[in-house]
């Protein structure tokens, strides 16, 4: 088994070659990778089958096994994703800013690759192809630390992607860590001499582990305790449709809604309507005392419900006295991901969008729209819930940094 | 003595009030702070005198005592700095990007304050006023962790600044930590529930301590092992002037030059000229074997010299065989701060600016220009040598983050 430090060092050694690739060369490799994935579909599915059998033997839950399972359409989606990345504009080389100082010094601020990016992810093997595509496009080398339960699948995918790298370019720009131990995560996030960034994509425990132990800069992604506040001026039909959509369309993702806050002035009338729609969609309601008085099917909420990311067909509902109280509740329980207001009151909307601290604040729209695809980025490397470097859906630009180039003619101070 | 956690919590509690301040109100406070500093000059100098006496009694070095000493002109510079910050454009509220999705969803990406920023700094008390000014301007609360040796000076400055905060606004937006213990630094950098960012401004040991222990995101600043490469096509006069300027003008700062690399083709002729200018300026030369053969006054360099940030009138000099070797040397020994080439060869300049990984790459200009003031930012919160969030001199924009505002009309997925 190769050592983590050796794999990280090999990734770093390819940065010069990556930097010398033009966009057209990177795009040609991405398209060749897409073709390779299609060609190798049966090998990838066979490796995945081995992972599934092992997972069943190890007694993994059905939900986990579903997440690690590949199908022909999921493999096709990987290839399509690589082609979509090839079609995007390359951010590397973009001149972000530029000016001339009074002394004649010419400054430009240019987008450049970050370096080596470590991605730590859980079961889903499709992340492997996505992460490689995004990193290659932006001139970064990538160190992939997938879970041990999907090692065979990830290996087959990386072998296929590697086969598309032309002679003369080192395939070492993609490193799938052979060491998938838990201790290996700690080692990886302290590989400061080789890595520029680590991105954990997974549950709260993984993210906490990375934050607590990383010396490499990291970006927190994907924890979303998202709220929708229904103001007294809300269009009830919009509010109902948006809440059902934000809860039901895909409950397992971070931008789904977990708590609805309802203004007291309309609580009785609106909650009666909302409850019917939720029950029709098999959503369990955990309500505050007032909600339980109005909605007979509601289960009394515990304090912990306000902080729970259910990722399931469960919704916490609380009646609040005012917009201020809604904002205070979100400040106390939100995770800085996505927060929505349903309202037709301009002053309320202005106050909510100004005072609520989150990567995205939505007005009369479902929290499910906070997503790289829905924002038009064409590809996404997770949704950042921290404030530094990248906030909200991360596209290609967020995988780059900048460099100042300063041109003088013998200038001294 | 107040607990660090309580001071951080109080800082956070003022964020709502800070967010509600318009630029004109923030600027009025900054101008009032400048006036207060001028008014309180004698109190500040008296407090500083107490710090100096204590430092002398504690046996601090003359260099350290010089760094913590305030003079009337240094106090005036603090007031002038606050007025300069007031005159800058407020980045908060700037719409960085905006578009409409095909489904009619309107997106805008807006600049907002980061939250509470922790600044950890060593002796210089003038950082206190600068940091408060920059944070107030950008709507951030600030937690200041100055060194214990300047606590009285810092306290007098913060009291003066606090006096300019009008009634109705909490002075808690400025927190000078009463606990200046070493253990307190570790506590501060893990105050994730209250702080959005910590910026260490100091030596390598401080920065290492922060990086190794922080759970709060941090920005590394100020370590600069900066190189100047003299290409075979260099204008010798420019090269000599630039090297002398980058070494001599202010040797103690991070953007001064520590190592000069000289192309072998011109080494004999150029080094003879350079050595004279360096010796005239009392610069000690530590040279490679080839340099020592050419320059009789050069002292043989040890391997460790290539990694030393002298911050003094000492310069390492190495003859290299080629541009490639210069780039390799910089890759092995640079600190991603500022790197310069002196050349008139377009291909060499292009290769150097493309392949050298640094916050700033300079062509025919002194590394001393890599500075917020010289870049025209009007104010600076250190020079970032990391790649995430901010790279190079940090102005006001680097003290903000962004938020997406998404406007719909009942939109669901």
Predicted confidence (pLDDT) per residue in B242-277, tens digit:
999 999 999 988 999 999 999 999 999 999 999 999
What percentage of residues in chain B have a pLDDT greater than 70?
100
Q: Is the dihedral of CA A294, A297, A303, A307 positive or negative?
A: negative
User: How far A349 CA lies from chain B's nearest CA (Å)?
Assistant: 10
- A211 pLDDT band, cuts 50/70/90, is confident
> Does residue B204 surpass a pLDDT of 90?
no
- B199 pLDDT band, cuts 50/70/90, is very high
Domain A4-219+394-407 is in which class? Answer: alpha beta
User: How far B393 CA lies from chain A's nearest CA (Å)?
Assistant: 10
Q: What is the mean pLDDT of residues B111-127?
A: 93
Contact B238 A387 (CB under 8 A): no
User: How far B289 CA lies from chain A's nearest CA (Å)?
Assistant: 28
pLDDT tens, position by position, A256-276: 999 999 999 999 999 999 999
DSSP code of B115?
A: S
Q: What is the mean pLDDT of residues A281-294?
A: 98
> Does residue B135 surpass a pLDDT of 90?
yes
The chain-wide mean pLDDT, for chain B, equals 95
- What span, in angstroms and rounded, lies between the C-alpha atoms of B49 and A346? 55
Kindly report each contact of residues A270-276 with a partner whose C-beta sits within 8 Å and lies 24 or more positions away, as own/partner.
Answer: A270/A230, A270/A234, A270/A236, A270/A239, A271/A295, A271/A317, A271/A319, A273/A236, A273/A240, A274/A239, A274/A240, A274/A243, A274/A317
Contact B413 A368 (CB under 8 A): yes
Is pTM beyond 0.90? Reply is: yes
- Predicted pLDDT of residue B51: 97
Contact A145, A120 (CB under 8 A): yes
Chain B interface includes A369 (CB < 8 A): yes
- Predicted pLDDT of residue B123: 75
Chain B positions in Cβ-Cβ contact with residue A391 (cut-off 8 Å): 401-404
Q: Which residues of B202-239 are buried (b: 16+ CB within 10 A; e: fewer)?
A: beeebbebbbebbbbbbbbbbbbbbbbbbbbbbbeebb
- Predicted pLDDT of residue B170: 82
Contact B411 A242 (CB under 8 A): yes
> Does residue B392 surpass a pLDDT of 90?
yes
Please, where are the H alpha helices in A145-235? 151-162, 182-188, 204-213
Residues B226-369: name the CATH superfamily.
Aldehyde Dehydrogenase; Chain A, domain 2 (3.40.309.10)
- What span, in angstroms and rounded, lies between the C-alpha atoms of B318 and B287? 6
- Predicted pLDDT of residue A67: 87
Chain B positions in Cβ-Cβ contact with residue A249 (cut-off 8 Å): 412-413
- Predicted pLDDT of residue A155: 98
B178 CB contacts (<8 Å, ≥6 apart)? B1, B2, B7
Compute the residue count for chain A: 413
Chain B interface includes A9 (CB < 8 A): no
Chain B positions in Cβ-Cβ contact with residue A112 (cut-off 8 Å): 357
Q: Where in chain B is the domain with CATH 3.40.605.10?
A: 4-219+394-407
Contact B249 A412 (CB under 8 A): yes
pLDDT tens, position by position, A76-127: 999 999 999 999 999 999 999 999 999 999 999 999 999 999 999 987 898 9
- Predicted pLDDT of residue B67: 87
- Predicted pLDDT of residue B171: 85
- Predicted pLDDT of residue B379: 78
- Predicted pLDDT of residue B64: 86
Contact A365 B197 (CB under 8 A): no
Contact A406 B238 (CB under 8 A): no
Question: Of B238, B376, B391, which has the smallest distance from its Cβ to A410's Cβ?
Answer: B238
Q: What is the mean pLDDT of residues B216-234?
A: 94
Reported as half-sphere exposure (CB side, CA atoms, 13 A), residue B72 has a value of 2
The chain-wide mean pLDDT, for chain A, equals 95
Query: Between A203 and B311, where is the model more confident?
Result: B311
Question: Of A244, A361, A376, which has the smallest distance from its Cβ to B403's Cβ?
Answer: A361
Q: Which residue of B has its CA nearest to A358?
A: B403
Question: Of A376, A391, A403, which has the smallest distance from its Cβ to B359's Cβ?
Answer: A403
- Judged on CB neighbours under 10 Å (0-12, 13-18, 19+), A179 is middle
Beta strand pairing call for B106-113 and B400-411: antiparallel
Tell me which of A245, A403, A407 to substitute to probe the interface with B (most B C-beta atoms closer than 10 Å).
A403
User: What residues of chain A, 142 to 201, have a C-beta less than 8 Å from chain B?
Assistant: 192, 196-197
Give which of B216, B288, B126, B353 is closest to A109, Cα–Cα: B353
Contact B401 A392 (CB under 8 A): no
Q: Which residue of B has its CA nearest to A241?
A: B412
User: What residues of chain B, 67 to 106, have a C-beta less than 8 Å from chain A?
Assistant: 99, 101-102, 105
User: How far A32 CA lies from chain B's nearest CA (Å)?
Assistant: 27
pLDDT tens, position by position, B28-71: 999 999 999 999 999 999 999 999 999 999 999 888 898 899 99
How many pairs of residues across A and B have Cβ atoms under 8 Å apart?
203
- Predicted pLDDT of residue A226: 98
> Does residue B225 surpass a pLDDT of 80?
yes
User: What residues of chain B, 349 to 368, have a C-beta less than 8 Å from chain A?
Assistant: 353-355, 357-366, 368
Radius of gyration (C-alpha) of chain B in whole angstroms: 24
- Predicted pLDDT of residue A347: 98
pLDDT tens, position by position, A389-399: 999 999 999 99
- Predicted pLDDT of residue B210: 93
Contact B366 A412 (CB under 8 A): yes
Chain B positions in Cβ-Cβ contact with residue A114 (cut-off 8 Å): 387-388
Please count the other Cβ atoms lying within 10 Å of the Cβ belonging to residue B59: 6
User: How far B353 CA lies from chain A's nearest CA (Å)?
Assistant: 7
**ipTM of this complex prediction, to 2 decimal places:** 0.94
Tell me which of A253, A345, A406, A408 to substitute to probe the interface with B (most B C-beta atoms closer than 10 Å).
A406
Question: Of B363, B387, B407, which has the smallest distance from its Cβ to A115's Cβ?
Answer: B387
Dihedral in degrees, nearest 10, Cα atoms B123, B128, B131, B136 = 170
Q: Which residue of A has its CA nearest to B19?
A: A355
- What span, in angstroms and rounded, lies between the C-alpha atoms of A171 and A11? 9
Question: Of A101, A244, A388, which has the smallest distance from its Cβ to B388's Cβ?
Answer: A388
- Predicted pLDDT of residue B222: 77
> Does residue B108 surpass a pLDDT of 80?
yes
Chain A positions in Cβ-Cβ contact with residue B407 (cut-off 8 Å): 362-365
Question: Of B242, B361, B406, which has the smallest distance from its Cβ to A365's Cβ?
Answer: B406
Beta strand pairing call for B284-287 and B299-300: parallel
């Amino acid at each position: 088994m190769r050592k983590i430090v050796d794999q990280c060092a090999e990734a770093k050694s390819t940065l010069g070659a990556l930097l010398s690739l033009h966009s057209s060369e990177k795009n040609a490799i991405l398209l060749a990778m897409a073709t390779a994935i299609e060609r190798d579909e049966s090998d990838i599915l066979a490796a995945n089958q081995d992972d599934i059998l092992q997972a069943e033997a190890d007694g993994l839950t059905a939900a986990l096994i579903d997440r690690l399972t590949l199908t022909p359409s999921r493999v096709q989606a990987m290839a399509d994703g690589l082609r979509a990345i090839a079609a995007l504009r390359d951010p590397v080389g973009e001149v972000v800013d530029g000016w001339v100082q009074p002394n004649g010094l010419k400054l430009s601020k240019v987008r450049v690759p970050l370096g080596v990016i470590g991605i730590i992810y859980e079961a889903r093997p499709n992340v492997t192809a996505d992460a490689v595509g995004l990193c290659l496009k932006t001139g970064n080398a990538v160190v992939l630390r997938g879970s041990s339960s999907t090692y065979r699948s990830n290996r087959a995918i990386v072998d296929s992607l590697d086969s598309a790298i032309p002679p003369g370019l080192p395939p070492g720009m993609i490193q799938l860590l052979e060491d998938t131990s838990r201790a290996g995560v700690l080692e990886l996030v302290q590989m400061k001499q080789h890595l520029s960034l680590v991105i954990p994509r997974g549950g709260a425990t993984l993210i906490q582990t990375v934050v607590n132990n990383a010396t490499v800069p990291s970006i927190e992604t994907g924890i979303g305790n998202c709220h929708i506040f229904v103001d007294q001026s809300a269009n009830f039909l919009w509010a109902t449709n948006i809440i059902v959509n934000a809860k039901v369309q895909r409950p397992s993702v971070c931008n789904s809604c977990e708590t609805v806050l309802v203004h007291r002035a309309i609580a009785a009338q609106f909650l009666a309507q909302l409850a019917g729609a939720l029950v029709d969609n098999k959503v369990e309601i955990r309500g505050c005392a007032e909600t339980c008085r109005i909605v007979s099917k509601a289960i009394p909420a515990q304090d912990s419900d306000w902080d729970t990311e259910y990722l399931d067909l469960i919704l916490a509902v609380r009646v609040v006295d005012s917009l201020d109280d809604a904002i205070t509740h979100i400040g106390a329980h939100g995770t800085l991901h996505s927060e929505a207001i349903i309202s037709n009151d301009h002053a309320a909307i202005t106050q909510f969008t100004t005072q609520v601290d989150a990567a995205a604040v939505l007005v009369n729209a479902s929290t499910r729209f906070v997503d790289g695809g829905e924002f038009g980025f064409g590809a996404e490397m997770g949704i950042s819930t921290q404030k530094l470097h990248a906030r909200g859906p991360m596209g290609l630009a967020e995988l780059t940094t900048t460099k100042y180039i300063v041109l003088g003619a013998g200038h001294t101070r």
